[in-house]
């Protein structure tokens, strides 16, 4: 084992974070728990994930339990974590592992990559943490640490391949799982994006960015392009009994499989109310709500104008009628919760 690996592991043994999915020293990791935590931690903070992780394990303590769950139930439990494709793939992956692998996760990176929702990072994380294999998971924390350690001048995302190769040169053959988690901890607690606590870093003496540059200047990144804004009209349709119309979004795509209030197509160009109403699921007397519901996704901003329509009968529709007090029982994404609050309180 290299001196650099020993330095980081010594630090990790002293200062590792206490996380609900992390095994105690010497305790064998559970692949199901490692997989669950890694999927949840994609693009989500540790603080947010903790409660969801505990709730999921309490509800579905094994991969077989999760595989047997209804997808809507899983999506409902996932509400608030965002990036709902992860929840759909979580459920699908559990079914594949249960059906095709007798409830046991494959032990090689290559075979893990064949599972739904598992990419290179997650495969390497499971292989190293759950099975002790020499594998190198590279996330944003690891990229930041490596870019500063070697003072990599190439900008992200072009530098990803180089950073991954450099990270692999650091990974020891033994304790690869602990080393992977140590790298994550180092980036999350010491080598942070806006501040680098170099004075307490186990790699302080060998960090090129500290010696020859400014650590917080790394990793170098290309200038971000401004996010476009899409607009649409949302149809809040209520019956005489107060129930409102919900429908299910397509399984594939943004917010796939989640419930929504119907809307016109989300477009970047301006759309008139008259044209938008051509996409309404039924005819009604429409009244525009004051104000705009705003929401930001990864790649664009969204602005929704809410049109309230009331129907006196029970027309045939593609969707379900739900009482306001029962909306909480359905898998509504954050955007639709904003819409409901706006429609009800304004």
Q: Give dist(CA 30, CA 28) in Å, integer.
A: 7
Active-site hit among 38, 109, 143, 260 = 38
CA angle 21, 24, 30 (to 5 degrees): 50
Residue (of 322, 255, 297, 323) closest to 75 by Cα position: 255
Is residue 143 part of the annotated active site? The answer reads no
Residue 311 is inside which H or E element, if any? strand 301-311
SS3 323: coil
Neighbours of 300 (CB within 10 A): 14
Angle, in degrees to the nearest 10, between helices 46-59 and 71-78: 150
Burial class of residue 133, CB neighbours in 10 A (0-12, 13-18, 19+)? middle
Q: Give dist(CA 340, CA 327) in Å, integer.
A: 9
Return the active site residues.
38
């Amino acid at each position: 084992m290299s001196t650099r690996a020993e330095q980081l592991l010594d630090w990790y043994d002293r200062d590792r974070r206490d996380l609900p999915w992390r095994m105690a020293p010497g305790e064998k990791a559970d692949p199901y728990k490692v997989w669950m935590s890694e999927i949840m931690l994609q693009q989500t903070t540790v603080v947010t994930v903790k409660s969801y992780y505990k709730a999921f394990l309490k509800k579905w303590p094994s991969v077989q339990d999760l595989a047997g769950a209804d997808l809507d139930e899983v999506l409902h439990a996932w509400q608030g974590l965002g990036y709902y494709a992860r929840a759909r793939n979580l459920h699908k992956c559990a079914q594949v592992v249960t059906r095709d692998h007798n409830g046991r996760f494959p032990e090689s990176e290559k075979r893990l990559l064949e599972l739904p929702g598992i990419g290179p990072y997650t495969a390497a994380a499971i292989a190293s943490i759950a099975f002790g294999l020499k594998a190198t998971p590279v996330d944003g924390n690891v990229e930041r640490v490596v870019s500063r350690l070697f003072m990599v001048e190439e900008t992200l995302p072009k530098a990803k391949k180089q950073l991954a190769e450099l990270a692999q040169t650091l990974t020891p053959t033994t304790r690869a799982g602990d080393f992977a988690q140590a790298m994550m901890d180092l980036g999350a607690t010491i080598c942070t994006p806006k501040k680098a606590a170099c004075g307490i870093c186990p790699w302080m003496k060998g960090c090129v960015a500290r010696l020859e540059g400014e650590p917080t200047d790394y990793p170098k990144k290309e200038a971000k392009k401004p996010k476009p804004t899409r607009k649409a009209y949302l149809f809040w349709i209520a019956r005489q009994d107060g129930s409102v119309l919900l429908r299910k979004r397509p399984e594939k795509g943004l917010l796939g499989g989640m419930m929504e209030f119907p809307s016109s197509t989300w477009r970047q160009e301006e759309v008139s109310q008259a044209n938008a109403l051509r996409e309404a699921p039924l005819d009604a007397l429409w009244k525009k709500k004051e104000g705009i519901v705003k929401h930001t996704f990864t790649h664009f901003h969204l602005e929704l104008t809410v049109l309230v329509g009331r129907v006196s009968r029970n027309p045939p529709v593609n969707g379900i009628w739900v009482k306001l007090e029962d909306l909480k029982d359905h898998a509504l994404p954050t955007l639709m919760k904003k819409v409901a609050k706006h429609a009800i309180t304004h």
